[in-house]
A and B are shown apart, each in its own frame.
Chain A
Amino acid sequence: MSVLSVAITLTLVLYALAGAVAMRRLFGGPRAQDRVLALDFVFVLAMLALLVLAIRYDSSMYFEAALLMALFGFVSSAALAKFLLRGEVIE
């Protein structure tokens, strides 16, 4: 086993732990803005996991998925923040 595959496994495990800790905030956050913040964080974490998987499987397909995920994460958290601020998304 090479250094790189051990490091990739370790990184994915650390991401999974971080995601689990953030899920606690996502499901149990005292107010809605905590949940939106945790959702944004989990989105970015999944995007980074896709980039790590791109190195693991040596494929550039994951990169496009990661880019789409970054964009959709931004759109979803911006729309949710706008909804919290104004009560509707598009006025």
Chain B
Amino acid sequence: MIVEAIVAALLVLSGVVALTSALGLARLPDFFLRMHAPALVYTLGSWSVTLASVIYFSLVRGELALHSWLIIIVLAITAPISTVLLARAALFRERQAGQPLPPPLGAGGAGDPRQNATSSE
């Protein structure tokens, strides 16, 4: 019974996280801010659903049912790749359209990669 309550709590947590993430996707003002919102579902949402599935099927079958971990592994590998590809595409398209871009990390400071590149040449 207590295990069932844990599974239920994990499922509801993932639902709340999904709704929060969708609200962030709809309401954040900039595309590069909006890219952060789905990361909630890719990490916390999928982790809690997968943990609930592992706990439930282990309880029902009477043995350790770890097959849902594959979902987490696949998502952990693929989500950063598609995020980076989409960020590159968005940067390219904003530059093409002449839109103002977010400044590069550490622009003009010691951590600026362009300055490091010129100093090493």
Known: A48-B46, A82-B85. A14 touches B53 (CB 8 A): no
What 1/0 flags go to B23-56 for Cβ under 8 Å of A? 1011000010011011001100110011011001
What 1/0 flags go to A36-66 for Cβ under 8 Å of B? 1110110011011001101100101001001
Indicate if the CB atoms of B71 and A31 lie closer than 8 Å. Answer: no
Q: Which residues of B contact A33 (CB under 8 A)?
A: 31, 86, 89-90, 93
Interface of A (DSSP majority class): helix
Q: Which residues of B contact A11 (CB under 8 A)?
A: 11-12, 14-15
Which residue of chain B is the closest to A82 with respect to CB atoms?
B85
Interface of B (DSSP majority class): helix
Known: A34-B34, A45-B41. A81 touches B22 (CB 8 A): no
B42: contacting residue among A4, A34, A44, A60, CB under 8 A: A44
Indicate if the CB atoms of A4 and B45 lie closer than 8 Å. Answer: no
Which residue of chain B is the closest to A22 with respect to CB atoms?
B22
Q: Which residues of B contact A24 (CB under 8 A)?
A: 26
Indicate if the CB atoms of B68 and A21 lie closer than 8 Å. Answer: no
Which residue of chain B is the closest to A69 with respect to CB atoms?
B71
A14: contacting residue among B16, B25, B81, B93, CB under 8 A: B16
Provide the bound-state CA to CA distance between A18 and B22, in Å: 5
Binding site for B on A (CB under 8 A): 2-4, 6-8, 10-15, 17-19, 21-22, 24-25, 31-34, 36-38, 40-41, 44-45, 47-48, 51-52, 54-55, 58, 60, 63, 66-67, 70-71, 73-74, 77-78, 81-82, 84-85
